[in-house]
Structure formats: structure tokens, C-alpha cells
Amino acid sequence: MRKQKSLTEEQIQELLKSKFVEKVFQNRIIYTNEFKLYALEQYQSGKPPVEIFVEAGINLDIVGSL
């Protein structure tokens, strides 16, 4: 089992700047429905997840740390 990491307050504040992030907890990110629909549409059209997050301006260094 993988140990869950916690986000720092700085990381949380950075994520909350995104219009696609609804809420952030120390170990969980809740995305807006708008982002979920956008991401699903982009993924179904063949775009890789990394590219979807980068284009949405979501910091992968932070998201990947969870």
C-alpha cells in the first residue's frame, strides 16, 4: 500500500487559483464539473492526460505528488 502524501499550504493555494479546481484538501483535489467534462471530451478525442492537465494550467508537479 502506498503512503498518502499531504499537500503544503502553498501547493493548496496554487491549485485554488485554477478555475478548474473546486476544492483542495491536504490529500485530495476536487475538480469542477466543467473540467471533468472537458477532460473526458479531450481524452476521448485521443489527447493524453498529461497534455489535458498542462493545457488546463494545472501544475503536474503538485498533482503528481499525491
Distance between CA 24 and CA 26 in Å, rounded?
A: 7
pTM of the model: 0.83
- Other CB atoms within 10 Å distance of the CB of residue 19: 10
Q: Which residues contact residue 37 at a Cβ distance below 8 angstroms, ignoring those fewer than 6 apart?
A: none
| pLDDT at residue 46, rounded to an integer | 97
C-alpha cell at 14: 496554487
Find the helix or strand (DSSP H, E) in which 5 lies: none
| pLDDT at residue 64, rounded to an integer | 83
| pLDDT at residue 52, rounded to an integer | 95
| pLDDT at residue 5, rounded to an integer | 81
- pLDDT tens, residue order, the chain (66 aa): 456 689 999 999 999 999 999 999 999 999 999 999 999 999 999 999 999 999 999 999 998 855
